[in-house]
Amino acid sequence: MNASTDTIEPPSRLLQFLEVRAAGELAGTLAAWPLLRMAPRGDGHAVLVLPGFSASDTSTRVLRRHLAGLGYDVHGWGLGRNLGPRAGVREAMLDRIDQLHESSGRPVSLVGWSLGGAYARALALRRPHAVRNVVTLGSPIASDASAASVRRLYDWVSGQRRSSATPGPRIYRAVPDEVPSTSIYSRSDGVVAWRASLQPEGPLAENVEVVGSHLGLGVHAPVLYAVADRLAQPVGRWKPFNPPWTLRAMYPDPQRTPRSQN
């Protein structure tokens, strides 16, 4: 992991207010549900979906239902609300990955929303042999909690309080070189600063931009399609995201996206 003394400012108040879009994004996804069934189908391997901060498996129900309908063996994290790095949480998630890996005999894909994505990347470092790929949604993978508009609540709930006068270093949360990783983000994210969701791109690492809110990432049609496409990549034959031409309008031009957080 690389550290920097630079910090990333949290989203503006305007972007925070615009998080009300999430309800409309869910409505749009429900209307487009039949079209989402056209996404690439899965091969039945296990997928573990991790919720964001303060959320539970209820928040990922639409995403899990979508993936299950495409043929994946989908699982919620089963640990109640995600209240930050509490004692025993990491061990419980590692045990879950081990169980799914051993029972299926195949590596497990990890999909994490917001803080859940940061968890997913950390878990992949601990279990590279058991993880097939990692997909994160609006996750703070290139900064500390100061890049999120909910930082104070996070500090209080997680017990990791820190003076605002002493921001933490920017930390890039890496994944093993052999594990493909996709970071899906939105420049209009009102919770996590979009720059904090960028990873250095490489042979097995990419950033995919969508347009939408943070709270709607797990229920937004472009995100659901992209997640399904990424999970459908054959082992050993991973390629960067390239949506069909009929859907390219849903994804901003990648040429304007910085290739790293620096």
Range of lowest pLDDT (167-176, 189-198, 226-235): 167-176
Topology of domain 3-256, per CATH?
Rossmann fold (3.40.50)
Query: What is the pLDDT averaged over residues 102-109?
Result: 97
Percentage with pLDDT > 70 across the chain: 82
- In this predicted structure, what is the pLDDT of residue 255? 65
pLDDT at 137 exceeding the cut of 80: yes
Range of lowest pLDDT (41-55, 92-106, 128-142, 170-184): 170-184
For the chain, which residues make up each domain, given as ranges? 3-256
pLDDT at 217 exceeding the cut of 60: yes
- Rounded CA-CA distance 99/78 in Å is 13
- In this predicted structure, what is the pLDDT of residue 168? 44
Whole-prediction pTM = 0.87
